[in-house]
Structure 1
C-alpha cells in the first residue's frame, strides 16, 4: 500500500504547480511581444521588386551617407560662414550642406563643405563648418591639401548634377557619381576628366543575364548565380596617368546599374542585375542612369571567348571596347 502524502508534501506540490503556471504565462507574453514587434511585409522579394532597375536611389540604403576627404581644403564662394557656424562633426557639416539641396527641382544652394575637426591643429577654428558653392562641381576649387591641412572637405551633388558620360562606340553611359559615400573614388574620376586622352581605358569582359535574372535584374528563384554573372568589366587606368590605390569606402549592395571598383581599382564593373548574394563586398561610387541600361545590355551581347580566371569561367570580349569620360552639363 502506498504511503499517504503529508501536508508538507502537498504544499511543495502546490508551489511547484504555481511555478510552472507562472513560467508558461511568461513564455506566452514573450511570444506575443515578439510577434507584435516584428516588422511586417519586409522580405527579400519585396526588396527586389521595390528597387528594380532604378540604380542608386538616395535613401534606399544609406541616404544619410556623408563622407569627405581629410587633409583637404576646398575653396569657393561661402554661402554660410564657418566663423559663425560650428558643428560637432564632419557628418553634421555635410548634412547641413545637403539640407540646402531640398527644393523640388533638386538645385543645391550648397554643393561643397569644409570642416575643421582637429582640436589641436584648428585652435580657435575648431568646429567651423563652411558651406560653399563651386563655380564648377566637376572641377572644384582646391585651395590646399596634405598632411598639414587640418580641414576635411566634401562635395554634394543635387538632382541632375555630378553626372559624367562614359562614352563608347555603342553609346554614352550617363553615370551619377556619389561623393557623399565614396569621396576618394569620385575625386579620382574628376581627375580623370582633366586627362586629355584615355588610352588604356576599356571594357574587356562582358556577361549577360542569361536565364538567371529577369529583365529588371531580379534573380530567378532556384536559378544559379552564374556564370554568366550579369556584368561588364573593364579598367579605368589611362596610359600616362598615375593611378593610386583607392581606399575602401562605404560598401553598398550591388544593384542593377551599380558602378563599383574591384578591390582598390582601377578594375571596375557595371552590374546588369541585383547581386544581393555579393552583400557589400565592393565600393560602389556611382550608378548608370536607368535609361542607359540598354547600352550595357548591348555590350553584354558582343562576341566573347571563354577563359578561366582563378577557377572561374568568364566571358572575355573578343575585341575590347575603348571608353573615355566626358563632362555632362547639368540640366537647366
Structure 2
C-alpha cells in the first residue's frame, strides 16, 4: 500500500512559492527604481560631521528610518546643538530620542505652524550619559539655517535634531528660469540637510547644475498621479542634477529616511551628489532614496519648464534617458521669511 501523502506538504510548498513571488516582486521594484537613474554616482561630503550608519537617534524606538507611521524623527549622534532653552532637560526626560523630538514638534501650532521649539538635544546612552540619561533639552535657535553648535565628535554624549515649522527651513534653488523654494526635512534626513546648509554657506555652488530632464509624458496627469495601466517610464518624470561644488571634497552619503516620493520631492540618487526633483508621484520608489526636501507647489512650474528644454538621447546602463543639450546652472540661496511668506535674500 502506498504511503499516505502528508497533509502539511502542500501548505509548505505554497508558502515557499509565495515567499519566492515576494522576493521577485521586491527585486523588480528595486531594479525599476535603479535603472531610472542610470549614471547616478559619486560621493557626498558632510563637512565636519561624522557619518553614523543606521538611525542617528541614539536608539531604535521607531521602525526603519522612523517613518512607519508617516512621521520622521531623526537626529545626529555625537552632536550638541546650543541655544536658549525652552524646556530644561534636568526636569524633562524621555525613554527615547523620538519622544524628545515629538515633544519639540508638539510646540508647533497646527500641523506646520510656527514653532516655539526648533531644536532638541537628547542623551540616550545609559553608560555614557550616567545621571543625564533621558534628558531632553528643547531649544530655539536665533537662526535655524545656521544652528549654534556647541561641540561634535565621538566624545560627545548628545544626539541633536532640528524641527522646521511653517515658513522655516526654506531655501532657494536659483536658476535662470526662476527660483524654486525648497522646504528642507531635517527630521527625516538630518545629515543631508546639514550638508545642504554647509553648501549654502559657501555662497557659491560652482559646478552645481541640472543636466537631465524628462517630462511626465502620457504616464502621469498634471497632479502627478500615475495613469492606470501606463508604464513607469521612460520618461521618468523628473529633472536630475548635481550638488557638488568644485573644490569641495566628498564622502559617501548615509542612507536616511525616504517617505513616499511625491511630486516635488527632492532626493539623492544613490549616495549623491546626484539628486533629482520628482515631477510625479512615484510610490513604486518608496524607501529607495533619501528624501531631504520638497519644492513648494507654487514653484513646480519652474521645474516643469526645465523639463521641457531641448534634450538629446543617451543610454545609461542600458536605459534611454534625456539629457539637456545645455545644462542649467543652479545656486543655493538663503530665503528671508515674513509671516510665512518666503522671499529671496538680497
Which TM-score band applies after superposition, normalised by the shorter structure?
Answer: 0.7 to 0.9
Question: 1:275 deviation in Å?
Answer: 1.2
Aligned counterparts, 1:214-293, within 5 A: 214-293=221-300
Match of 1:208 in 2: 215
1:48 paired residue number: none
Tell me the distance in 2 between the aligned counterparts of 1:96 and 1:245: 32
Alpha carbons of structure 1 residues 273 and 105: separation in structure 2 relative to 1, 3 Å = closer
Q: Does 2:184 align with 1:177?
A: yes
Is 1:148 matched with 2:166? no
Alignment-derived partner of residue 169 in structure 2: 162
Using CA pairs under 8 Å that are at least 6 residues apart, name the structure with larger relative contact order, 1 or 2: 2
Q: 1:302 to 1:105 in 2, by over 3 A?
A: closer
The separation in 1 between residues aligned to 2:318 and 2:325, in whole angstroms, is 20
The answer to whether 1:130 aligns with 2:149 is no
TM-score (norm 2): 0.77
3-state SS, counterpart of residue 328 of structure 1: strand
SS in 2 for 1:214: coil
- The range that moved more, 154-163 or 215-224, is 215-224
Q: Aligned-pair distance for 1:216?
A: 0.8
CA distance, structure 1, for counterparts of residue 96 and residue 311 of structure 2: 50
Give the count of matched residue pairs.
273
Please give the per-residue CA displacement for 1:161-210, whole angstroms capped at 9, x wherever unaligned. Answer: 10110000000011111111111111111111111311010000000111
Deviation at 1:219, TM superposition (A): 1.2
Indicate yes or no: 2:111 matched with 1:100: no
Whole-angstrom CA distance in 2 between matches of 1:313 and 1:277: 19
Structure 2 residue matching 1:97: 3-state secondary structure: helix
| Partner in structure 2 of residue 42 of structure 1 | none
Structure 1 regions of 5+ residues with no counterpart?
A: 1-59
User: What's the RMSD between the two structures over aligned residues?
Assistant: 1.4
Distance 1:281 1:99 in 2: 29
Unpaired segments ≥5 residues, structure 2:
1-66, 340-346
Task: Assess, with a 3 A threshold, how the Cα gap between structure 1 residues 62 and 195 changes in structure 2: closer, same or farther.
Answer: farther
Q: Are 2:119 and 1:117 aligned?
A: no
Give the deviation of 1:103 after TM superposition: 4.8
CA 255–299 in structure 1, closer or farther in 2 if over 3 Å, else same: same
Q: Which runs of 4+ in 1 moved over 6 A?
A: none
Normalised to the residue count of structure 1, the TM-score between the two structures is 0.80
The Cα offsets for residues 63-98 of structure 1, whole Å up to 9 and x where unpaired, read as 432110000000000011111111111111101100
1:67-86 pair list within 5 angstroms: 67-86=74-93
1:306-325 mapped onto 2 (5 Å cutoff): 306-325=313-332
Mark the CA change 1:232 to 1:91 in structure 2 (over 3 Å): closer, same or farther: same
Structure 1 residues 165, 62: CA separation in 2 closer, same or farther (over 3 Å shift)? farther
Displacement of 1:62 after TM fit? 4.7
Question: CA–CA distance in 2 between the matches of 1:108 and 1:273?
Answer: 30
Q: Which residue of structure 1 aligns with residue 302 of structure 2?
A: 295
Larger Rg, first or second structure (1 or 2)? 1
Aligned-pair CA distance for 1:298: 0.1
